[in-house]
Every structure is written in C-alpha cells, then in structure tokens.
Amino acid sequence: MKTLEMDIETRSGTDLTRAGVYRYTEDPDFDIQLFGYSVDEGPVSVIDLACGEQIPEEILKAITDESVIKWAYNAGFERVCLSAWLRKYRPDLFHGYGQPEDRTVNYLSPASWRCSLVLAAYNGLPLSLAGVGRVLKLTEQKLEAGRDLIRFFACPHGSKEPGGIRTWNHPEDAPEKWALYKAYNRRDVEVELAIRNRLRRFPVPDSVWEEYRLSEEINDRGIALDRDFVNNAVCMDERIRQELEEEMRSLTGLENPNSAQQLKEWLSQQGVEVNTLDKKAVRTLMETAPPELQQVLCLRQQLSRSSVKKYQAMEACVCADGRCRGMFMFYGANRTGRFAGRLVQLQNLPQNHLPDLAEARALVRSGDYETLRRRYDDVPDTLSQLIRTAFVPREGCVFAVADFSSIEARVLALLAGEQWRLDAFARGEDIYCASASQMFGVPVEKHGVNAHLRQKGKIAELALGYGGSTGALKAMGALEMGLAEEELQPLVTQWREANTAITDFWWDVDDAAKECIRMRLQTEVGPIRFAYKNGFLFIRLPSGRRLSYARPRIERNDYGGESITYEGIGSDRKWQRLETYGPKLVENIVQAVSRDLLCHAMRTLSHCRIVAHVHDELIIEVPPAESLEEICRKMAEAPAWLPEADLRADGYLTEWYRKD
C-alpha cells in the first residue's frame, strides 16, 4: 500500500464551526460514523461504524504507518479526528509525535498526510470540495444533500446547555436517509480521487508539503489561554454594556439603543440626518455635533466595539488543557499561498496602545471592575486593547515575539532593483524618511530636519507601492492625516518619479504575463518566470513555488486598453472572471515571496516551540534565558533561493502576547 484516500463522517455535541476540530473531538459524544477510503486509487469502500462494522486491520495500521501517504480534503480534520478515535478505541495502534511536554503527542504526525484542499488552492482553485468539482467539471460531483444529512445524523437535538439531555438520530430511525448518507461519504472520496487525478500534472512541491507539515504541527501545539483573564473580561464586558445601554436609554428614550435604525431616527429628530452609523461616520459626526449629541455618539462608539466576540471565540475553541488549537489555515489565500486565520483570527486582533497595559490587564485578571471603571473612561476600548494579552506562554516560559522589518518593501525593492531603497535598507534607515527624502530632494529625519515630510513619505509608502493613486491615498486615510485634496496627485507623481525601477517593474511584469498568455511562451522578469500550460498561467517565484491563474485571457477593459482576466474567487467569494494587471500581479508576487520568507524562517526556527504566527511575525515559547538576538538573527537569514535578500528581524520577550 502506497496511498490511502479517505473521508469520514463524524458526530459531536460541539459546534465544529465555533469550536474547531480539536475541541470538537473532546466532546464526550464525539465518534466516527462512516469511514470511506480507497487504497492506491482503487475502488472506494465505506465502513459503517455506526452500524457495527469495523475498519480493516491493515487500514488501521496504514493510518499510523509513516510510509503510507494519507490523502483527504481538509486533511487536518481527518487526522485530528482519527487521532482521538484511535486513542479511544485502539490505543495499542496510536502513537503521537514530538516531546512529552509538547501536546503534539496527542496527535498523529502530519508528516505522511497530504491535503487535496492544498492541492486545489496551490493551483488557484476554490477552497470547497464542491467548488473544485464544478470548476474542473468532474464527472463525479459532490452530492448536494450532504449538509441536510449532516444536520440530521451528526448534530444533536434537544438541549444545548452543558449537562443537558441530547438526542440523536440513528441509522435505524431513517434507513433511506442513512443509505444516502453512505452514498454521500462514498462520493466525497470519489471526488477527491478525481481531483488528484485531474491535477496530477500540477503537483505541489515537496518543499510546500514540508511547510504544510510544520503548519499542522503549530496547529497541534496550540497556544495557551489565560482562562481566568478571559472569563473576567467577558463578565466585565457584559456589565459595562448593560450600564452603557441604560445610559443611552436615559439620554434618548430609545427602547433598543443598539438599534442603528432607531438611533438614526432619533438623530433625525434632533436635526441630524445620517445614512450610516459605522465607526468612521460617527467619528466625523462627533467633530461637529453639539455636546449632548456627542455624548450619545460616544456611547454608540463604545457599544459598537466587538471585543467580547473575540473573548467568546477564545472560550469556544479552547481545549481541556487550556490551549487554543487549529487557528491557522495553510494556503488559506490561494492567490498568494498566505495563511488564513481561523476561530479567534489572530490576523486581525486590535492593536494595543495603552501606556499602562500591564496595570489594566492586572485589573481585569483580578476581576476589579470598579477600579477599571474609574481609571478608564472607555472600558470596551480597554478590553479590546487587552485581547492579545489573553494568550500566554506555558509555565516557566516567556514569549519571544519576532517579526520582519518592512518585509514587503524590501522584497519589492529587491525584485524591482530599486537601488536607492536597497542602499537605505542596508544602512538601516527609516524607510518613510528615506522615501520622503527621495521624493522631495531634501534630508528628512524622524525627529529632526524636515520631520514634517515623514508623514507624507509614510502614507505614500503604504498606499502607492502596487500602482495605487489618489484613491489609494484616501483609502489609507491621507485626508484624515491632514493632507489636502490638492496634495494627493502631486504626491503620487513624486513617489513614482522617485521609484522609477518599481514603476518599470509593474509594466515589465504586465508585458511578460500578456506575452506568455498570447504566445504560449515562457517569459521572465528578473527572477520571476511566467509559463502557460494546460489553461493555466503559472508565475514561478524564486523559491520554486508557483502562483496559478486559471483560464487566463487578454480582453478589452473599460478604459479601452487590454487587461489580463482569469477565473478565481472574487470579493463576494464566488467563482468568477477577474481582471488583473501589472501592479496587481506585482502585489501578488511580493506578498507571495514575503510569505515564502516567513515559511523559511519557520523552518529555520522549527526546533523552537513556535505557537503562532501573524502576518510577518512569529510567536515562540522560550525559556526566559533564551537569546532573543539569536532568534532574530536566524529569522533574518536569507534562503539559498534568494541569497541577496537583506532581511532584518526585531523582537522582544514578554510574559503575555502584545504588540510592542
């Protein structure tokens, strides 16, 4: 046996979407109902465990055999579920991996597992099994009845309260539905096999599978949660919201002060017409509103903060040992291959700017609501800024938090050959000052000569690197930062004139991609290679990894010119034809190379206990005496595939996670 394709149907009293698979398998009612499999791409068999059938011994041994490659769609689910099932029913066969103090020992090693979802995402396809089947126009398609069958057989009925009575539908309760459920399980394996067969010509490189293994290891390890702190934060949030709502009722007389519609009608009665009550609109309104309305709007802002949802998400997914697991989806962004956040969503946590963060955290952890209320005018904002601090290292350790400095700006400068930027990075200069100096032709120092120009350099750097113009500056908050409307277009012109190599790079990439699509020829721009094969445009990165664009064409755009279009997942999450052009492709390329550099750093530091990563940042559990300088040095090592990369990593040690 060389390969084992599988798909399982499970049941649990825990909500998978909120809790994640790790917490899901800890539920006392968790079990595997159906086990569908194929050996070496042969006929599919379905084992009906719920009706007493047994998984063949040779299949069970294959699951734990590192020499047999296991395939599944979203394979982490099957691997974690089978880990729990084997520990319960066949502990004689189960063996985990890692060190005893590392909780990865509770899970099957991901080293011999492969994920069909990653295979699809690597080739620019949708992230759902049904979506891939439709796009590839497979003969075998996922059965549409699956969702209803899962609700019927895999989810409990009755009480959802802890300790409440759960009732389940069993096979004998609906034999026809159960037969369809088994057919659904069988079809999923057939679809997965068809996907692998169709994409056989476009395999995922071994280096990416090694990154997948490391990502799964981080998911298995998890990150510890200060549960006392989280519990108190949730209670305090509920209490302050009740107080704020009561204050709003007394000021407005509204029955439901959280209702945007009721508040807009009330404001209209006060002579203030508003179309929206989003945070930006309320901030703008507060600048001109009379004092009595400012108070109401301020309360609205406080009530609209969603900090408690993050804390509740933590409570929902934390495992019995106090660690949150499964928070990272490998290849969650199929355009670039970057990771996506799951469950708590570490990628979009609020930043912390409180000067007395430790004191505020101590008040919440001790449950001292009265002091917190007296000391901080905006308690919801304080709780929001404290969200990161809910994550803590294991006992006897601290977090080493290390991140790349200006990683995308460095990669863009290197790929485009923008020499003044490369020189500025080599000298350790502030890129915003260096950019402003290059744009305006005068020295700029952060707290010295021409310091006022740094802000213009900063907003230009953040908005204009990928072809952005005045709209991008506005979206980045240029007007709120004090820039005048008439300053924006000159700023765009000055930035582009100061970065001619980058602007040339945009259009060189555009030309190379178009020529590749038109002529079916391989083209290149510096270390970036373009190839067309079997209906895909492939962009080969320095690491050897490829970006994939399905069914590309050259079409007339709305401005009378020509643009590249391809099929992909749009902003509405639907599969559709999308438009792209040089600067957008450059953005994909730069973000993808930056992602590859982060993965290289993760592999370099894989001997450490990496517990999480956020964008260009690694969070590692280390003994207090660990050398932070050595961690940053290793993180900044250039890979063999991009030896000229001038990288820099900075970091800090902390007793709980925060943004330095």
Distance (Å, rounded) from C-alpha 537 to C-alpha 520? 9
**What is the pTM (predicted TM-score) of this model?**
0.92
Residue 537 has pLDDT above 90, yes or no: yes
Q: Which of 535, 610, 659, 497 is nearest to 220 (CA)?
A: 610
Note whether 108 and 98 are within 8 A (CB): no
Q: Which of 406, 491, 498 is nearest to 453 (CA)?
A: 491
- Per-residue pLDDT of 215-262, as tens digits, reads 999 999 999 999 999 999 999 999 998 888 898 888 888 888 788 888
- Per-residue pLDDT of 13-23, as tens digits, reads 999 999 999 99
Q: Around Cβ 361, how many Cβ atoms within 10 Å?
A: 24
Paired residues of 620 in beta bridges: 400, 610
Residue 160 has pLDDT above 70, yes or no: no
Looking at residue 29, its pLDDT comes to: 94
Q: Which two tokens stand for residue 430?
A: 């502030």
- Per-residue pLDDT of 517-530, as tens digits, reads 999 999 999 999 99
Choice between 531 and 560, residue whose per-residue pLDDT is larger: 531
Average pLDDT, the chain: 93
Convert 400-431 to b/e letters by CB count within 10 Å (16 or more is b): bbbbbbbbbbbbbbbbbebeebbebbeeebbb
Q: Which two tokens stand for residue 112?
A: 């011999």
What is the signed CA dihedral for 404, 408, 414, 416, rounded to 10 degrees? 180
Residue 557 has pLDDT above 90, yes or no: no
- Per-residue pLDDT of 24-39, as tens digits, reads 999 999 999 999 999 9
Confidence bin at 313 (pLDDT 50/70/90): very high
Looking at residue 248, its pLDDT comes to: 86
Confidence bin at 303 (pLDDT 50/70/90): confident
Could you give the C-alpha distances from 579 to 131, 235, 553, 573, 660, in angstroms and in order? 20, 47, 10, 15, 38
Note whether 509 and 585 are within 8 A (CB): yes
Looking at residue 219, its pLDDT comes to: 97
For the ranges 149-163, 435-449, 562-576, the lowest mean pLDDT is seen at 149-163
Looking at residue 477, its pLDDT comes to: 86
Average pLDDT over residues 348-367: 93
Helices (H), 520-627: 582-604
Q: Determine phi and psi for 372, rounding to 5 degrees.
A: -60, -40
Q: What number of H helices and E strands is found in the chain?
A: 25, 22
Residue 159 has pLDDT above 80, yes or no: no
Looking at residue 574, its pLDDT comes to: 87
Residue 494 has pLDDT above 70, yes or no: yes
- Per-residue pLDDT of 41-75, as tens digits, reads 999 999 999 999 999 999 999 999 999 999 999 99
Residue 82 has pLDDT above 70, yes or no: yes
DSSP 318: B
Confidence bin at 163 (pLDDT 50/70/90): low
Note whether 347 and 614 are within 8 A (CB): yes
Average pLDDT over residues 438-450: 91
Q: Which residues contact 188 (CB under 8 A, 6 or more apart)?
A: 7, 36, 73, 129, 142, 146
Looking at residue 292, its pLDDT comes to: 79
Q: Determine phi and psi for 145, rounding to 5 degrees.
A: -75, -5
Confidence bin at 194 (pLDDT 50/70/90): very high
Could you give the C-alpha distances from 410 to 136, 415, 461, in angstroms and in order? 37, 9, 12
Confidence bin at 545 (pLDDT 50/70/90): very high
Confidence bin at 482 (pLDDT 50/70/90): confident
What is the signed CA dihedral for 656, 657, 659, 660, rounded to 10 degrees? 40
Q: Around Cβ 16, how many Cβ atoms within 10 Å?
A: 17
> What is the set of domains in the chain, with CATH numbers?
3-204 (3.30.420.10), 227-392 (no CATH), 393-405+527-550+564-660 (3.90.1600), 419-498 (no CATH)
For the ranges 11-20, 107-116, 160-169, 563-572, the lowest mean pLDDT is seen at 160-169
